[in-house]
Amino acid sequence: MKALRSLAFVTNADKSGAPELARELIALAKAAGLATQQTARRAIPRGWLKGYDACCVIGGDGTLLGVAHEAARAQVPIIGINRGSLGFLTTFSAEEARTQFTSLLRGQFKIAHRSLLSCTTGKNHHDIALNDVLIKDPFNSRLARLEVYANDQLVTEYTCDGLIFSTPTGSTAYNLSAGGPLIMPDAGVIAMTPICPHTLSNRSIIFRDDVRLRVRSRNVDSTLLVAMDGQRNLISCADSPIEITISPLKLPLAQSLDYEHFAVVRTKLHWSGGFVEKK
């Protein structure tokens, strides 16, 4: 990567230590001669990143998700610094950010291009998601009856609390909590995981990334809630299908040069299980 000439900062002021870290890093960026701008808004407006070489997000994964769709549209890499809990997306710790920040400003990082889901409701409302698209009844106490089609072929019908459509990036989020599979980030797939289905055969389905998925409600005169990354909601009527595909856009995500995906997964999920033979 080329050395950065400008850097935008998005800070979650509710996260402990985030404002202080932001002030420290902004001072370093200015001292290096970079043009900067900053905001504490959770959802940045369209066009806010135009002309910037990168965006430094200081907070948790939720903070980064709030920036992701605009960064993807502008093709501005995100440097995620974790001040939240797990931090699968915000891969730099605060200490790593402090020690590596000068190198990052010199462009010493690699870019991972993460796939996004494109979702359109029957009313032609459209949005993109980095992690997942959740489809459910708007009332938490009611079951959803959902038909799923892949390229116009019926897959199956679910009676369940909802369906999660996940990118490989989002496989460690809601998909994982619902019993879905972990997926390598660069795999060209979409995962569909039912939430509490009324069946003994609860299994995720993995689709190729060139599939066109369509979901319909079987409940008469009902509406469906469509949640994008758990942050932005669309509504679909019962007679209007929901279509999900892979977006032509990809999110550029900055990573350290020695980043290893499964090393992060092992650390974040506290994987263990090494066999120790008794003497």
The answer to whether the beta carbons of residues 117 and 128 sit under 8 Å apart is: yes
d(CA 67, CA 128): 12
d(CA 62, CA 64): 5
The answer to whether the beta carbons of residues 87 and 41 sit under 8 Å apart is: no
The residue behind tokens 């509710």 is 14
Catalytic residues: 61
In SS3 terms, the chain reads as CCCCCEEEEEECCCCCCHHHHHHHHHHHHHHCCCEEEEECCCCCCCCCCCCCCEEEEEECHHHHHHHHHHHHHHCCCEEEEECCCCCCCCCECHHHHHHHHHHHHCCCCEEEEEEEEEEECCCCCEEEECCEEEEECCCCCCCEEEEEEECCEEEEEEEECEEEEECCHHHHCHHHHCCCCCCCCCCCEEEEEEECCCCCCCCCEEEECCCCEEEEECCCCCEEEEEECCCEEEEEECCCCEEEEEEEEEEEEEECCCCCHHHHHHHHCCCCCCCCCCC
How many CA atoms lie within 13 Å of 178's alpha carbon, on the beta-carbon side?
Answer: 26
